[in-house]
Each structure stands twice: as structure tokens, then as C-alpha cells.
Structure 1
Amino acid sequence: MLEQPEANRMANVPFSGIREVFEECDRLEAQGQNIVHLEIGRPDFDTPSPIKQGAIEALDRGDVHYTSNYGILPLREKLATKLEEENGIRYNPDDEIVVTCGATEAVFVTLMGLIGTGDEVLLPDPSWTYPAGVRLAGGEPTTYELDPATGFQPDIDSLRKAVSAQTKLLIVNSPNNPTGGVLSEQRAKALRDFAVDNDLIVLSDEIYEKILYDDKSHHSLAALDGMRDRTVTINGFSKAYSMTGWRLGYLAAPVDLVDPIIRARQYTSTCAPSISQHAAVRAVGSGLHEPMVEAFERRRDRVCERIKRIPGMSCPDPTGAFYAFPTLPEGYTDDQEFVFSLLRESGVALVPGSVFGDAGKGNLRIAYSNSVEQIDEAFDRLEHWL
């Protein structure tokens, strides 16, 4: 046995807390236990048929080889049109858009390309797994608060306290995982002012952009005055088009930012799967996401209704993505113990809020990426268990 097999940088990169829940589900299901899954951050729908047909036709044509590091030009051209028409940002498809193996890779190569040893990165608390990527890139994650009282809007005072001379990059995620919060226009402009005043690069993760409720609007930070030249906009196909297994995302940024990112990308996956890229051409601008969003809104309403029935459990109504982030029920304080006890004893899978940072302690992430019937079954079991 080697004395120290892992690299030093891995010491501060924990095993994913979400994956720990997945692994326990697998173990229990192998033993025959029935699990209701409200922990999985993926749509439960099939990929729409026109998108699958695009892949079939690509296979029949023999489009099965490496593509440019940037991705196939027809997809980049459609993405450039989409970004201009829907987000108000103009990019050159030749060298300002990069198609990636999921939005996760887009985040990772952005951090690897732009962050160096000792650079500080501001990221929301609670948030998805950005801290691990920052540490792998050699940077130092520093958190800022999301305010539950305002629907989990970024707290600008918290940002001002967290920024320092070593801060290089700000991460913003809207609609947000795990809270379901959506950035307001007013708060987007406040973030713009903060980023410009402190000369920060911004990574704007917009993967849930199309999953919005209650007439909410999405605000791309790169579209605001002074932001295009300092922003990397990240998006993808997994969530809106139920294409998680196709592994396809993209990023858009000015050439000066893309240059180090594409160099980092060249030494990771080389290019996104050619077949997935040809399929995605059918997705962009198609409106194929709309029936799924309507279903998610019905599920959101049911989750909020059921949460309100449980003493001590409270949650701002999510206005985007497909997550709710309620507090623990009355009498409970340890979200890790709560989640694993509920899972083992009643077969309901949730994610502990503490997985998403210190601000998540005492909360739960509920992914309503399951049917209304399964949501009711999960809450029936939860109420019985309580």
C-alpha cells in the first residue's frame, strides 16, 4: 500500500455529499427497500423525440468523430443567435462560444483557466459544488450569503465584507441550486456595480435559466452595462431538455477570457460528444422545454403545499429550478442525521442542506424532479415517520 497515494490538493476536496445519498439509496434498493427519490437533480422525463432524432441522423451520417475544441459550428451559430435574441448578449460563434461536456465541465475549465494559486473566489452560501472546483484550481473559496427573507437573493453587504485584494472571481447561480431562488433585476444590477467596482471576473451559472415560475424573468449578468468583457456565461442542455446523460453544456465569453479556458479544455475532454452536439442543434430555440416546465410548476405547488402542513418546516416559495430548500421540522437540528434516518427507516431520499455549505445547516434540499404522486407518497411517509 502506498503511503500517500493522493495528491496534496485533494486533502480539501471531500467526497460529494449528494453522491453519499445516492450510494446509500443504491445499497438499500439492492436489499429490496422501496425508495422515493427526491434527491436527484435531474428531470425524470425522456429527452424530447426531435432531439433524439437529431442524434439518430448524426449516427446515420457517420458524424461520430472528434469535433473542434470549440464544438461544431452549426451548434455554436445557433447558440450565438439564442444568446443575442433571448439574453441580449452578442458573441462571435467562431471563438467566443465553447461547447463542453456538460455545464459541470464548463465550470471546471473556467476555474482552471482563470484561477491561480491564492486567488480568492466569492461563491454563494448555500451553493452547488463550486468550492471543490475552486480548490482543485488552486484558489480559495470565500462565501457570501443568500437571504431567505428575500427569496435567497445575494446579500450585497455580505459580499462587501467578503471581498479582499486577493479576490479575482465572483460566482453567481440563478436560478439557484439548491434554493430555487431567482435573481431579481434590481439585485442583478447591484451585483454588476459590485463586480465593476472591485474589478472582478464573473462566472454566471445559468443552467436552470428556462425553468421559471410565477412570471419570473431571467437576467443574464453579461447583458448589463460593463459586464460583457468580464463575464463567463455558463449554460447547458441537461436540465431544460432532460439531457443529463448526453453530457452537453456550453460557455460564452469574450476572446480574452476564452483563450485560457480553451487551453485548459484542450487537455481535459478535447471536445463534447459529436452525436450529442448534433442532437442539441434541434433543441436550441425549439420550445421543447415548455411542457416539462409546466409539470415542474405543478410539482412545485404540491411540494410547497405539503411543506406548509408540517410543524416547524418553512420555505420561501421557489421561483426557479426544481428545488425547494425548507428548514427541518420542529424538534430537529441535525440535517445529516435527519436525512439518513428518514432514508433508512422510511425510504424517502432527500439531501442534507449542510452539503451545500454552512448556511445550509438545518435545511433540506427537496428535488421535485419526480411525479406529483411520488411527491405525495414521500410526504405521506415523512409525516408518518415524524
Structure 2
Amino acid sequence: MVNLDHSASRMDRIPFSGIRKIFEECDQLEQSGTDVVHLEIGRPDFDTPSEIKQAGSQALSDGHVHYTSNYGITPLRSALSDKLSAENGINYDPENEIVVTTGATEAVFVTMLALVEEGDEVLIPDPCWTYASSIRMAGGHPVTYELNPKTGFKPDLDSLTEAVSERTKLLVLNSPHNPTGGVVDRDTLNAIEDFVVDNDLLLLSDEIYEKIRYDGSEHLSPAAKNTLFDRTITVNGFSKAYSMTGWRLGYLAAPAELIDPIVRVRQYTTTCAPSISQHAGVRALQSGLHEPMVNAFARRRERIMERIENIPGMSCPTPSGAFYAFPTTPEGYPDEEEFVWSLLREEGVAFVPGSVFGESGHGRFRIAYSNSVERIDEAFDRLEDWL
């Protein structure tokens, strides 16, 4: 008999995305006529700003439809260098210290493949986005450290100390954070600086939500610290702040010594980000096109928190950034998987179980307020009726 299972053994360690499972179920329900309220999707629901679309259209008209440098087009790298200097306090050479990628996801993936060796350990927050799969594909081992809900889901420093070992090579930091909306403050970053230096680690700083912040919360880039610059890979992109998820445009910045192995991996993945998207990205960086979306997210966040407070058993630290809330499940529903799937199939309200994001997600679920206030109210009305 022919063996039909030809997958590499490493794929035994790579699960299907729990978020995509919810998304596929939503699609099937909608095909059967169910009105689904989408609060599971980690993307802005807004159209890309017209100025950015016009820049993309102009790039098409001007014939910018071919391969670009593996590093990205010069105008975009120069604009990113200016942005990082002015907004983040980090000075990178646009020629050999910035790489434009096909989304921030690719930036994370090529970094892990280039820097993580077989058996290396990588510290990732719990809960967190899907860093673990990239680490495993590189042959490394993800090791979790806790985020403390009592401090707004900031990294727990005692947990970091317990998690590190002689095999640890890299620490992943994500602020503002998915799925909790937590933001790292100055005191916490100072402590992380000491931890990274004392343990001689590299640091991947995922800053994809940097522009989506509330109540005056401050965004801090680790690489702006002199002791961390040589150790840090800064990852960011255009998907969240500019509603450009389909344009697949991200970037990473790091000292040339770290960029060299990363760009060599990059040469054999997607070669370059879409040329049209890169020209649109130049326009995105020229003004505050993200501000109307952030204002809308702020109003939605307020409404989410108001509705959470009215449901027995549900509690949630107020998010300081991103567009996610990470509350506890309602009273009487300790199993977050059963709660989320039942609510979706019976009421057409889509959330994501907290366990998708790690062990500490048990008893919680993620709400993406990437939908209107009216639809948020509709979702919570259905939830309250169902309860």
C-alpha cells in the first residue's frame, strides 16, 4: 500500500491555527444563512485609506510591477529609517539594516530561521500570538513566561527568571500585545533590559500595534536603549495601523551583523514584498492616516468594557493598546472552548478561545473589537440572551 502521509516529521509539532478554525466555522455558518457577528478577526475592518490606494494605483500605472531588491525599494527603506529615528529614537542605516518583508509574519519567520539553531530555547509570552510554530520550524523550543493580569498583562519578571536557561538564545517581546492589549511601561522595559543583558540574549521586539494605543500610554522600542541596540530585531508592519492586511507589507530592522543571515534566508522565501505595496507604503508613512482608525478603536474599547462589566463572572483589565480584550469567561462557563464554540453555533457570535494563545488563556477568550459599536452591541445582546 502506498504511504500517503509524506509530511516532514517537524510538522507533527505544527498545529493548525485555532483562529483559522473559528474563521472556517464562521464561513460555513454564513453560507447556511446565519448572521455572524465577527469579533474574532485580528484585522481592522476599515478600508485602506484612499491616499494609500492611490499610491498603489500610481505604482501600477508607472510600471512598478517587477522584482525589487531583497531588502526592499530604496524610497521605502529611507522612509522607514526616517520614521524609526523620529518616532522610535533608533538610527538604522537604510542600506543594510532594514529589510522590507511580506508582512510582519514573514519578518518573524525569517528571523527565527536565521538565528535559532536546533535545540535553542526562545522565551515567548503566555498568552501570545503564534510565535511558537516559527520557532519549532527552525528547530528551536518555545519556553513561555507569564503575563500578569493584575498589572494589565505586563511581563512577570519572576516568571522570566524561572524560564531562562543556559540554552536560551532569544526573548520575544510584543507590545502593544496580542491577545491582551497590554503595553510594556518604562519600568518593566528597564527590568527586561537588565534581564536580556545579564543573560546575554537576543531580543525580537514585535511592534506591529505600536500606533494603536489609548489613554496616553507610551510606546517604547527596546532598540532605542544603547545596551539593547546590538541585540534587538525590531519587527513592524503596515497591516494594523493602516488597514493594509491584504497588501502584505512589513519590515524588520537590526544591526547589519544580524541582518546578514536574515536576508540570506529571505532570498529563498518570497524574494521581495509586492512592489506595488512597497510604493503604497511610502505614502502611508507620510502622514497620520492611522489616527481616525485609532479614534474609532478607542470608542469601541470603551463600549466593550461597559458591556463586559454587566455580565456576571466576566472581568478584564482595560486594554492599553491594540484592538483586543482578553476577559474571563462568564459565570458558569469555565471551559472557554465549550463557551466560544457553543455561542458561535447557537447565536452566531464569534470570539476566540483563550487557550489558542497558551496555557494561561484557559478560562479566558479574546475579543477583537474590529467591528462597529452597533455590531458589538448586537454581539453582547445575543450573549446576554443566550446566558
Task: Identify the TM-score tier after normalising by the shorter chain.
Answer: over 0.9
What does residue 177 of structure 1 align with?
178
- 2:272 corresponds to 1:271: yes
| SS of match in other structure, 1:226 | helix
Partner SS for 2:210: coil
Counterpart for residue 343 of structure 1: 344
Q: Is the 8 A contact 1:80 1:91 kept in 2?
A: yes
Shift of 1:4: 3.0
Shift of 1:2: 2.4
Q: Which amino acid aligns with 1:29?
A: E
CA positional deviation for 1:333: 1.1
Identity within the alignment, %: 69
**Structure 1: tracts of 5 or more residues without a match:** none
Instruction: Measure, in 1, the Cα distance between the counterparts of 2:3 and 2:210.
Output: 46
Query: 1:352·1:364 contact (CA, 8 Å) conserved in 2?
Result: yes
Pair 1:156 & 2:192 matched: no
The alignment's TM-score, normalised by the length of structure 1, stands at: 0.99
| Distance in 1, Cα, partners of 2:260 & 2:157 | 31
| Cα distance in 2 for residues equivalent to 1:3 and 1:48 | 47
Structure 1 counterpart of 2:49, one-letter code: P
Q: Which amino acid aligns with 1:339?
A: V
Instruction: Give the equivalent residue in structure 2 for 1:53.
Output: 54
Q: Which amino acid aligns with 1:165?
A: E
Gaps spanning 5+ residues in structure 2: where?
none
* Shift, 1:285, TM fit: 3.8
**Shift in Å, 1:12:** 0.9
Distance 1:289 1:58 in 2: 21
Matched, 1:325 2:326: yes
CA–CA distance in structure 2, aligned partners of residues 285 and 381 of structure 1: 42
2:85 maps to a residue whose letter is: E
Contact 1:82 1:285 in 2 (8 A): no
Aligned-pair distance for 1:225?
2.6
Residue of structure 1 in register with 2:125 after alignment = 124
User: Which residue does the alignment assign to 1:305?
Assistant: 306
- Separation in structure 2 between the aligned mates of residue 364 and residue 285 of structure 1, nearest angstrom: 36
Tell me the alpha carbon deviations over residues 210-247 of structure 1, each in whole angstroms, 9 at most, x when there is no partner: 00000001000111130110000000000000000000
* Alignment coverage as a number of residue pairs: 386
Q: Does 1:362 align with 2:363?
A: yes
The Cα shift of 1:128 comes to: 0.2
The CA distance in 2 between the partners of 1:329 and 1:53, in whole Å, is 45
1:28-177 alignment, distance < 5 Å: 28-177=29-178
Following superposition, the deviation at residue 188 of structure 1 comes to 0.8
Kindly indicate whether the alpha-carbon contact (under 8 Å) linking 1:189 and 1:224 is maintained by their aligned counterparts in 2.
no
Secondary structure in structure 1 of the residue aligned to 2:122? strand
Which residue identity lines up with residue 365 of structure 1 in the other structure? R
User: Which residue of 1 is the match for residue 284 of structure 2?
Assistant: 283
Aligned to 1:250: 251
| Segments ≥4 residues shifted beyond 6 Å | none
- State the match for 1:237 in structure 2: 238
Deviation per CA, 1:8-63: give whole Å up to 9, x if none.
Answer: 00001100000000010011111111100000000000000110111111001100
Which amino acid in structure 2 is aligned with residue 290 of structure 1? E
Q: Does the residue aligned with 2:234 lie in a helix, a strand or coil?
A: strand
Q: CA deviation at 1:147?
A: 0.3
What is aligned with 2:380?
379
What secondary structure sits across from 1:282 in the alignment? helix
Corresponding residue SS for 2:226: coil
Q: Which amino acid aligns with 2:64?
A: D
Aligned to 1:228: 229
Q: Distance in 2 between matches of 1:165 and 1:207?
A: 30
Partner in structure 1 of residue 214 of structure 2: 213
- Look up the match of 1:24: 25
Q: Could you say what secondary structure the match of 2:86 adopts? A: helix
1:3 Cα deviation from its structure 2 partner: 4.5
Given that residues 206 and 234 in structure 1 are in contact (C-alpha distance below 8 angstroms), is that contact kept between their aligned partners in structure 2?
A: yes
CA distance in 2, matches of 1:267, 1:11: 24
User: What secondary structure is seen at the aligned counterpart in 2 of 1:307?
Assistant: helix
Structure 2 partner of 1:188? 189
AA aligned to 2:132 is: P
Structure 2 match to 1:296: 297
AA partner of residue 166 (structure 2): A
AA of the residue aligned to 2:370? S
How far does the alpha carbon of each residue in 1:162-191 deviate from its partner, in whole angstroms, 9 at most, with x for none? Answer: 000000000000000000000101101111
Note the C-alpha offset of 1:5.
1.3
Letter in 2 for 1:64: V
Task: State the TM-score, normalizing by the size of structure 2.
Answer: 0.99
Give the Cα–Cα distance (whole angstroms) in 1 for the partners of residues 287 and 116 of structure 2.
35
What residue identity is the alignment partner of 2:30?
A: E
Partner of 1:341, secondary structure, is helix
Q: Distance in 1 between matches of 2:99 and 2:205?
A: 15
The DSSP-based 3-state class of the residue aligned with 1:121 is strand
Task: Quote how far apart the aligned CAs of 1:286 are.
Answer: 1.1
